[in-house]
Amino acid sequence: MSKTISGFSKLSKNKKIDWIVSTYFPDSNEAKNIIKQYWSSDEKLQKLHDEFIENTITNYYLPFGVAPNFLINGHPYTIPMAIEESSVVAAASKAAKFWLERGGFKAEVISTKKIGQVHIIYRGSSEALFSFFEELKPKILDETKPLTKNMEKRGGGILSVKLIDKTSELENYYQIHAEFDTRDAMGANFINSCLESFANTLRREAKTFKQFEDETIYPKVVMSILSNYVPECLVRAEVSCNIDLLQEGDISGQEFCERFVQAIKIAEVEPYRAVTHNKGIMNGIDAVVLATGNDFRAIEAGVHAYASKSGQYRSLTHAIVDNNIFKFWIEVPLALGTIGGLTSLHPLVKLSLEMLHRPNAEELMEIVAVAGLAQNFAAIKSLVTTGIQKGHMKMHLMNILNQFGANEEEKSILIPKFQDIHVSHSAVSEALNKMRE
């Protein structure tokens, strides 16, 4: 039976584990063994991990793989990927090699604006509030100078600040809407600090503004927070080649392109397909975002909002054939950083960025977008030719064998056996049972 506990965060790590085990696993020592077997033997490294979050009891491992042979804007890359799904790294690697022989990937950053907002409720005259904002704006910019000084030295800072009337959507709702350039930092802390400074200046100045008759109609700050929807922090990645270079077995290049383009068009109009289509793109994007110490939840939220910007959820990728040239591209919002956060703390994050030639934020945006495009190309290529399950289940074979407790000898026999036959849980189970009998 579950229990509650007071002061859990103040307990030592061992005492936290003791409470977890005695509360949820009282009849077994296995839980404690599982928890402790994932501790690092390097005490300094373990302490670093313990201090990333509160109430740490162990480490949760994900496979860290690499996808080589990416050619991006003429430069070769081996892309680090942290992900548990069995076929993702293989698919990315296969797409990278495919396009390496056809000119590689081209990528460019379109814009790097990020957004933050101070959300306000105000019950007085709209004209008075806008008049107040005209007086307030130079003051809020002046009072954030200590915060923006270093960012401005790097070429970033606050790009614009405006007051927006949102009362048609929510009664008495206004917002201070600000745009930022945070250069190589993801910038969440910088943006939030600026916004809270805006809010403090607003609260103070509202008390002396003559058109606000009394404190009952002062603008009230509800909250100050950055947005993870960044439709103007945008990157484009693409591949292209003559359709004759896309022949796939008995399928001509022209027929392959027709099938491929049709599959993309379906994802552009059918939300049920688009969600799965874009999930495959995010297999590639999230894996690189995670390996480089960035916030994949923020990226996911922003990307899916962008996919819905027309009012319907649609594909993030697009494809056409023009004068016998196949073109396949993605435009995706990616607010990424290569300094700050875990980038200077987590050893594998530092290794990942070193492997990527120490990219700045814009270069990382291009690399991550390419990973998403490559992942999608591999998936659609399989779907319109052999089908997705053939390759996926072969990659999943090792997981199935491990689930059934296959030993090394059994694996060495069964892996070659399933190279030419369909892989399924039932087929693997049957083959394994026959061997053991």
- The per-residue pLDDT for range 324-357, each reduced to its tens digit, is 999 999 999 999 999 988 898 999 999 999 999 9
Query: Does the pLDDT of residue 393 top 60, yes or no?
Result: no
Helices (H), 214-295: 253-269, 271-291
Count of residues in the chain:
437
% of the chain at pLDDT higher than 90? 83
CA 182, chain centre distance (Å): 18
Which pLDDT score is estimated for 423? Answer: 65
Which residues are within 8 A (CB) of 281 and not within 5 positions of it... i.e. 6 or more apart? 316, 317, 330, 332, 372, 373, 375, 376
Which tokens sit at 52?
Answer: 């990333």
pLDDT at 146: 97
CB 180 within 8 A of CB 158: yes
Class of the CATH-defined domain 114-227: alpha beta
Q: Quick one: DSSP state of residue 251?
A: B
pLDDT for position 425: 67
Active site members: 85, 279, 295, 392
Predicted pLDDT of residue 399 = 67
Q: CB–CB of 233/191 below 8 Å?
A: no
Ranges of each domain in the chain: 8-50, 67-111+234-386, 114-227, 392-436
CA angle 55, 61, 67 (to 5 degrees): 140
Residue identified by tokens 């600026």 is 194
The fold of 67-111+234-386 is 3.90.770
